[in-house]
Amino acid sequence: MAKILSKGEFTTLTLTDDSTVTKTAIDEGAEKLAKEIDFLKLNKSKFHYNFLPHVFSYEVKEKHAYYSIPYLSGPLLRDYIYSEPDFLLCEQSLEKTIANLDSLHRQPGTIEAAAFSRKYYFERLRGRWEKLKNELSDTQLQKSFSVEGISSSDVRSVFSLIAKGTTLLIDGKEINFSIEHLASSLASFQKTFEFPQTSIRLIHGDPHAGNILLHDDEAFFLDPNGFMDGGDVAYDFGKLLVSFDWHDLSMMSMLESANIEVVSNGLRVTNNKVYKDDFIKERHVALRRKIMELLTEKVVPLYADDPLLLQRIKLLLYVHQFSFAPTLIKEKPETALHILLNAISDYSTFTEGGRFSLT
């Protein structure tokens, strides 16, 4: 009997015998899986990276695709960094991850830098939020509710309200937010998003800690996003950073649930960013510090003609969260809302002191 390892809306991963994992996708998922197959097959055969799994077999049809790779025993980086008592070992796994990303990034990409920036940093985000903004909300929100156990239709209503524009009072801090505010604030960082062609390399596209598996002294990269023409290296590091932000803490239920009250001019959010455990809190801070250190020491010097690289990576921490929060509403409504609230409050802090504060 095949054992199911993981199941999403369109993809299922099964352990078919003790040594093979088969990833199957249906409907919309098939197209993405086909790109994943192309990426893994081409790059593994061309460059022989130890950290990419070898594809044993695959098939792609219009609404159905699958591929098989070796089963890799070992923890996901996402779990390891909070369960391993020895922090030095966690640091080593981060070093390995960044070194592997760097190896991948040695290959140049072909997509034009300006086109990549426009599409992935502006148009995609805008498109996802525009839909929510234009939505007629059919649910009436309760006066007061917890994020815990919230339904996806209620989260959709909150996202729609936030997209149109509202005042958020998050743990005492007032933020006027709308998708227009966000778009103009991001546009003010134009220089940071205009990067040289030398920063277009082969990228993984989704190297969050849930796609990195530690096995046999190696950090394996699973689930690439299939950017066959390459992309901005900052895109990858931004995704990695997101994993060490509130995203994974929420995914792993390591945070208390925030409470939301509907008030006359908007929403009041309390109990946001409250850790269930002090150990996790300290780890989180230390891991983020370590990543920033590694990026500064090992990555930034490799891109001398991209002086705003680190600034862009930090900005992408927010761009990524604003961009994918809407895609999580249906399957992970609590996480979607947590990510959005934290992205709004942290981005507003990030931009404070500059001209384009959201507050």
Ligand X SMILES: Nc1ncnc2c1ncn2[C@@H]1O[C@H](COP(=O)(O)OP(=O)(O)O)[C@@H](O)[C@H]1O
Could you list the residues that contact ligand X (CB under 6 A)?
Answer: 5-6, 8, 11, 13, 21, 23, 53, 69, 71-72, 76, 210-211, 213, 222-223
Query: Which three-class secondary structure state does DSSP give residue 156?
Result: helix
Helix runs in the chain, H state only = 28-47, 77-83, 87-104, 113-117, 124-133, 152-164, 179-187, 190-193, 233-243, 246-251, 278-294, 309-324, 333-351
Whole-number Å distance between alpha carbons of 42 and 312: 29
Smallest separation, CB 46 to ligand X (Å): 20
Residue closer to ligand X, measured from CB, 18 or 278: 18
Whole-number Å distance between alpha carbons of 167 and 295: 35
Contacts of 349 (CB under 8 A, 6+ apart): none
Smallest separation, CB 226 to ligand X (Å): 11
Exposure string (b/e) for 331-346, b if CB count within 10 Å is 16 or more?
Answer: ebbbbbbbbbbbbbbb
Considering CB distances under 5 to 8 angstroms, the limit depending on partner class, which of Mg ion, ligand X, none binds residue 13? ligand X
Query: Which three-class secondary structure state does DSSP give residue 29?
Result: helix
Tell which residue, 318, 308, 345, has the closest CA to residue 190: 308
DSSP H or E segment with residue 224: none
DSSP H or E segment with residue 170: strand 166-170
223 belongs to the binding site for Mg ion (CB under 5 A): yes
Smallest separation, CB 70 to ligand X (Å): 6
Whole-number Å distance between alpha carbons of 156 and 135: 9
User: Tokens 């404070």 — which residue?
Assistant: 352
Residues 276-295 that bind Mg ion (CB under 5 A): none
160 belongs to the binding site for Mg ion (CB under 5 A): no
Phi first, then psi: what are they for 27, rounded to 5°?
45, -130
Smallest separation, CB 211 to ligand X (Å): 5
Smallest separation, CB 215 to ligand X (Å): 8
Smallest separation, CB 73 to ligand X (Å): 7
Two tokens, residue 74: 């070992």
Q: Determine the size of the site formed for Mg ion (CB under 5 A).
A: 2
Smallest separation, CB 284 to Mg ion (Å): 21
Residue closer to Mg ion, measured from CB, 117 or 211: 211
Residue closer to ligand X, measured from CB, 221 or 347: 221
Smallest separation, CB 211 to Mg ion (Å): 4
Tell which residue, 229, 233, 207, 231, has the closest CA to residue 220: 207
Considering CB distances under 5 to 8 angstroms, the limit depending on partner class, which of Mg ion, ligand X, none binds residue 11? ligand X
Considering CB distances under 5 to 8 angstroms, the limit depending on partner class, which of Mg ion, ligand X, none binds residue 292? none
Measured from each CB, the residue nearest to Mg ion is 223
Residue closer to ligand X, measured from CB, 21 or 162: 21
Contacts of 56 (CB under 8 A, 6+ apart): 20, 67, 68, 69, 70
Residue closer to ligand X, measured from CB, 15 or 169: 15
Considering CB distances under 5 to 8 angstroms, the limit depending on partner class, which of Mg ion, ligand X, none binds residue 240? none
Pick the piece of the chain touching Mg ion (CB under 5 A) from 186-194, 219-227, 230-238, 346-354. 219-227
Considering CB distances under 5 to 8 angstroms, the limit depending on partner class, which of Mg ion, ligand X, none binds residue 345? none
Q: Are 109 and 201 in contact (CB under 8 A)?
A: yes
Smallest separation, CB 69 to ligand X (Å): 5
Residue closer to ligand X, measured from CB, 71 or 87: 71
245 belongs to the binding site for Mg ion (CB under 5 A): no
Pick the piece of the chain touching Mg ion (CB under 5 A) from 119-127, 139-147, 206-214, 267-275. 206-214
Amino acid at 29: G
Chain residues in the site for Mg ion (CB under 5 A): 211, 223
